[in-house]
Chain A
């Protein structure tokens, strides 16, 4: 007991060195390192670039944070990105010429994301399938259907005005960066300031206690997957509009691992009950800075995965040590 108390007071006394700000220091240190390697790093354009590159995985990671805090996992986010992206492009093409084709297609994408998330949630709760297995299954299904629809190739969008989202800027800031930050703020409020958010933590920290405390555990779980599906839809819009096309084989490939990595670096626990939007956003940015740095250092792209892996392991070790 006394040991625990000491640990607690230590944590409080750390102040700006506490867990909450830890990642900010890491980001600062990485930035200084990058700047000393290449002065180009600190150029506004490069920094905005990093935010832009963070956006599509970051949005997914934010949604996944809800799932993980509630004690689940969603491996299907990467292939669902390609699937929803493909659906959006197909819808735009089908409605080509109509002035509302793009908004309608995006809404369709959101609908598909929500429904697919809902189905994953049902498999996990009512079907009582382990989240890892259930979403491993849906991951395979989504990718396969996407490949089938595109016959292994690409979905090309015929309406070039669609790229205004992914490539557009407002006051020199890329729109995807706005979307990322805006979505981060909205989800931050949901997670930390609503009943739903509180229940997500309760369900992940102790499902039995939550059940006894009259919380509808299954409904909360399902809703985290719906939120994950909606996040994927946002990411699908960003990714598909950036290139004005979706590759059935490579779009979204490995997104699930990058998103999980970002959340874990940000302090989200794989066993549930712990995590924050703030941490996940910073975790995403850490990963982006590192890949940005490696590019500038001319490190082989093949070795970048090694560095990413080491960072993930180090992050978890540091969290274990405190």
Chain B
């Protein structure tokens, strides 16, 4: 076995008091490709950011070639540790070579030495099999895959010992993935240690020498790849008791509330059809970018529908805006709480009543009614705030989410579409929201829950629609399916019978 290049021992990390990594030990060796897998929120990106020097660990030590180091971006650069983040970091309005030399421009005297930079860039691109790309092209004219490769070129131009790639293939086509793998193999030949984070188990099996599985911030398995099958890895990724967390199901399938037929949204959703029953919680599982949010925005009229119709209680609806959706009793909880849910600078009271002002404006707002409405919801949902006039930005994430929930409940809709309703909130509030959803469902309301948290989808929902590349590829029964099965459909390893 080759020598260890980088090693983390007893790594812990907290985010605003919540621990997300527990006592993680991990080691990367010379010329090894080390796969890191786990569900969303398992702590993969956090761990990679710590090894890449972007985040300091709360506890634990990092060793580089046997020496203890305290990493920051500058030190990491000096040691030759390079991180390619999930989100690309290129400046769109600059050229390829300008991006590659950003922050370390070659100069001749006082002026930029453009010729040298272009030549070096060409060399790096040749290394990546991209000799056809002109270094003077603007980055905004490149495809996503090319951008990804430019990002890699930026890294391989220097002398690197450790390369960390956080889900590099999420947006690549099969052919581009193979190009990338070729590059990874040649880097491996040069003795570089590569950490490779991915959702695609098949790729992990294909390229990695070792695979480490994270679950809930802990390392639960670490094996040489030839010792494990994809099914083994999937099993390691899941597996925990869910009975205590989720309220019991209460499935009834007698009365159809919402029917979506052949919904197509440009570039995102293709011919999606499903029915939602009264009192049902219907889950939507899938990878990021599988078209789930776009489908929801198509239903509520925020995105243009290319085809398709929506029927509520048997009546065809013409929904062209969120206002129409609200009028018909369909509300949407957006995915990004901070940017699309709360209005941070507004008080709790105004956030809660935002969608129902017409109820107490004649035409002047009736403050007393407004306070009553807000106070009632704050009590009902146990929203913790100092007073109703406290700006929402000062509340915790969980309480902020409850405020947005309260806003939707006040509309008294028939159908809720919840997009990642528990992302980034504490466990207590999570459980509270699960029970709230179930209670409302029992009272005859219907839910569509989009979630990337598999235990959540399976534990909470009556049925699960799995989306992949803009289509529904399977409907599974929440009570009898397993995370392993859902993962197989999500990643396209199993193609299923689709019945509505």
Contacts and interface: CB of A to CB of B under 8 A. Distances in A.
Contacts of A202: 343, 346, 350, 354
Contact of B365 (A4, A194, A213, A214): A194
A69 to B, nearest CB: 11
Contacts of B364: 189, 193-194
Interface string A1-35: 10011001000000000000000000000000000
Interface in B25-41: none
B365 A206 contact: no
A205 interface: yes
Given A5-B394, A8-B394, A195 B326 contact: no
Interface string B374-413: 0000000000001000100110100000000001000000
B358 interface: yes
B357 A195 contact: yes
B52 interface: no
B45 to A, nearest CB: 23
Given A195-B358, A214-B325, A4 B344 contact: no
Contacts of A216: 321, 323
Interface stretch (B131-139, B151-159, B333-341): B333-341
Contacts of A72: none
A194 B361 CA distance: 7
B140 to A, nearest CB: 19
A206 B344 contact: yes
A194 B355 contact: no
A149 interface: no
Given A1-B394, A205-B345, A210-B343, 19 more contacts: A1-B16, A4-B393, A4-B394, A8-B394, A195-B357, A195-B365, A198-B354, A198-B357, A198-B365, A201-B343, A202-B343, A206-B344, A208-B339, A208-B340, A212-B332, A213-B354, A214-B325, A215-B323, A215-B354
Contacts of B345: 205, 273-274
Contacts of B323: 214-216
A151 interface: no
Contacts of A208: 334, 339-340
24 contacts: A5-B394, A8-B386, A8-B390, A8-B394, A193-B365, A194-B363, A195-B357, A195-B363, A198-B350, A198-B357, A202-B350, A205-B344, A208-B340, A209-B339, A209-B340, A210-B343, A212-B332, A212-B340, A213-B354, A214-B321, A214-B323, A214-B326, A215-B323, A216-B321
Given A195-B358, A195-B361, A212 B302 contact: yes
A212 B334 contact: yes
Contacts of B265: none
Given A193-B365, A205-B346, A212 B354 contact: no
Contacts of A273: 343, 345
A216 B358 CA distance: 14
Interface string A192-234: 0111001101100110111111111000000000000000000
B357 A211 contact: no
Q: Name which of A8, A214, A273 has the most chain B CB atoms within 10 A of its CB.
A: A214
A209 B341 contact: yes
Contact of A201 (B325, B346, B394, B396): B346
B491 to A, nearest CB: 30
Q: Name which of B16, B339, B342, B354 has the most chain A CB atoms within 10 A of its CB.
A: B354
Nearest to A203: B343
Nearest to B346: A205
Nearest to B337: A209
Contacts, number: 78
Given A198-B354, A206-B343, A211 B322 contact: yes
B346 A212 contact: no
B355 A213 contact: yes
The 9 closest A-B pairs by CB, nearest first: A214-B322, A214-B326, A195-B357, A208-B340, A193-B364, A206-B343, A195-B361, A212-B334, A214-B323
Contacts of A194: 361, 363-365
B363 A205 contact: no
Contacts of A210: 343
Contacts of A199: 357
Interface in B170-190: none
Interface in B88-121: none
A194 B396 CA distance: 29
Nearest to A216: B323
A206 B350 CA distance: 13
B363 to A, nearest CB: 6
B362 to A, nearest CB: 10
Nearest to A199: B357
B342 A209 contact: yes
Contacts of A215: 323, 354
Contacts of B331: 214
B346 A213 contact: no
Contacts of A195: 357-358, 361, 363, 365
A214 B327 CA distance: 9
Nearest to A7: B394
A120 B407 CA distance: 33
Contacts of A274: 345
A216 B322 CA distance: 8
Contacts of B344: 205-206
A213 B413 CA distance: 13
Contact of B341 (A193, A212, A214): A212
B62 to A, nearest CB: 28
A319 to B, nearest CB: 14
Contacts of B365: 193-195, 198
A198 B364 CA distance: 11
Contacts of B334: 208-209, 212
Contacts of A189: 364
